[in-house]
Amino acid sequence: MMILLRQWMVWTAVTVLAPAAVGWGQAPTAADSAREICITLDDLPVVRVHDPHLRLQITERLLVALDTFGAPATGFVVGHNLMPEENLLPLWLLRGHTLGNHTYDHPDINDLSLVEYLKDIEKGRDAIEQLLIDAGQPRRYYRPPLLHYGATAAVRDSLAAYLAAQGYLLAHVTVDNDDYLYNVKYETLIAGPDSIDLPRLGREFIEHIRTQLESAETLAQKIAGRPVRQILLLHANQLNGRFLPDLLAMIRGKGYRFITLDSALADPIFAQPDPYIGPKGISFLERLATPALPVPSKTPHESDP
């Protein structure tokens, strides 16, 4: 592992991840002022990759991209994604980012008793707690897998009460998307003869995020009558290891300033009561705009299981 860490330090020193020439970095207009966004990445350290060298490379690429654009991020750790003798999480903390709890086994609250679900939260906490204490991170963040907050009012409110009692901030999302589906396409392309299609996939992915971000902007305007501090959900996967620089360039080109999760969650929009009751995994803005309806438990834009 020390060899891998030395390789990471060398890569960081010599690698410059400039956004590709795909037109995402245009100068913002006056109408773009006051836009702020937090970048969050779920399923740390790395999801769907087991090779330690590739896991380190993906982590390095994500961190260099965030450094290049001055984007403070919060990564949400799934305990079972940790590998023995792997030290990727400290790299995030050393670069000034924060970490949060995304459970240990990534369970669906809709499929377990509340007691079982809370035990998995605690197991996820134990997997990272000492690391956060040693790093001096005082704040606890929690993000529920699938963005499922509980299918009934009783479960939703009990989870919220538990998190508050444990000192957790619930890390809402305002910009949900299908990056995990694009990641599956990316994995297929790099494993076959069609890698020439990777730039096209990257453009399609960035345009997808742009569309989702603009939808969130429109919804925020309808709900709050103003721009709100957005929180983007991504995953620590191969796709974002490749295209995060382009993605951040697009966001900056729209006039956004990158902010911390604490700053984003301080927006008054997140103090509004959550009216949604149901099994669906949707963004917080959609929760505010969506009444309790009998909806499917999985939709095309529901977060990666």
Q: Say what the pLDDT of residue 32 is.
A: 47
Domain ranges of the chain: 48-289
Q: How confident is the model at residue 192 (pLDDT cuts 50, 70, 90)?
A: confident
Look up residue 245 and give its two tokens. Answer: 């620089």
Q: Report the alpha-carbon distance of residue 45 to residue 191 in Å, rounded.
A: 22
Look up residue 188 and give its two tokens. Answer: 């297929």
- Positive or negative CA dihedral for 228, 96, 147, 242? positive
Is the pLDDT at 33 greater than 90? The verdict is: no
DSSP helix/strand/coil, 293: coil
Q: How confident is the model at residue 257 (pLDDT cuts 50, 70, 90)?
A: very high
Q: Say what the pLDDT of residue 305 is.
A: 52
Confirm if 38 and 232 have CB atoms less than 8 A apart: yes
Confirm if 131 and 89 have CB atoms less than 8 A apart: yes
Is the pLDDT at 298 greater than 70? The verdict is: no
| Angle 127-121-171 from CA coordinates, rounded to 5° | 100
Is the pLDDT at 299 greater than 70? The verdict is: no
Q: Say what the pLDDT of residue 1 is.
A: 41
Q: Say what the pLDDT of residue 5 is.
A: 40
DSSP letter at 211 equals H
Is residue 84 reached through a cis peptide bond, with omega within 30 degrees of 0 on the bond before it?
no
One-letter amino acid of 210: R
Q: Report the alpha-carbon distance of residue 172 to residue 76 in Å, rounded.
A: 12
Is the pLDDT at 202 greater than 90? The verdict is: yes
Is the pLDDT at 20 greater than 90? The verdict is: no
Transcribe 87-152 into DSSP letters: --HHHHHHTT-EEEE--SS---TTTS-HHHHHHHHHHHHHHHHHHHHHHT---EEE--GGG---SS
Q: Say what the pLDDT of residue 23 is.
A: 37
Burial (CB < 10 A; 0-12, 13-18, 19+), residue 50, is exposed
Q: Say what the pLDDT of residue 186 is.
A: 97
Q: Say what the pLDDT of residue 15 is.
A: 38
- At 278-293, the pLDDT tens digits run 999 999 999 999 864 4
- At 131-174, the pLDDT tens digits run 999 999 999 999 999 999 999 999 999 999 999 999 999 999 99
- At 77-124, the pLDDT tens digits run 999 999 999 999 999 999 999 999 999 999 999 999 999 999 999 999
Look up residue 115 and give its two tokens. Answer: 């007691």
Stretch 202-226: mean pLDDT: 98
Neighbours of 98 (CB within 10 A): 22
Neighbours of 116 (CB within 10 A): 11
Is the pLDDT at 21 greater than 50? The verdict is: no
Is the pLDDT at 295 greater than 70? The verdict is: no
Q: Say what the pLDDT of residue 118 is.
A: 99
Q: Report the alpha-carbon distance of residue 140 to residue 163 in Å, rounded.
A: 9
Q: How confident is the model at residue 302 (pLDDT cuts 50, 70, 90)?
A: low
Q: What are residue 258's DSSP bridge partners?
A: 37
One-letter amino acid of 282: I
Average pLDDT over the chain, rounded to whole? 89
Report the predicted TM-score, pTM, of the whole model to 2 decimal places.
Answer: 0.87
48-289 placed in CATH 3.30.70.2860: no
Those residues whose C-beta lies under 8 Å from the C-beta of residue 23, and which sit 6 or more positions away, are none
- Give how far Cα 102 sits from Cα of 97, 112, 143, Å: 16, 16, 5
Q: How confident is the model at residue 245 (pLDDT cuts 50, 70, 90)?
A: very high
- Provide the b/e sequence for 232-248 (b: ≥16 CB within 10 Å): bbbbbbbbbbbbbbbbb
Q: How many C-alpha atoms does 177 have within 13 Å on its Cβ side?
A: 28
Is the pLDDT at 11 greater than 70? The verdict is: no
Is the pLDDT at 66 greater than 70? The verdict is: yes
Is the pLDDT at 14 greater than 90? The verdict is: no
Confirm if 146 and 162 have CB atoms less than 8 A apart: no
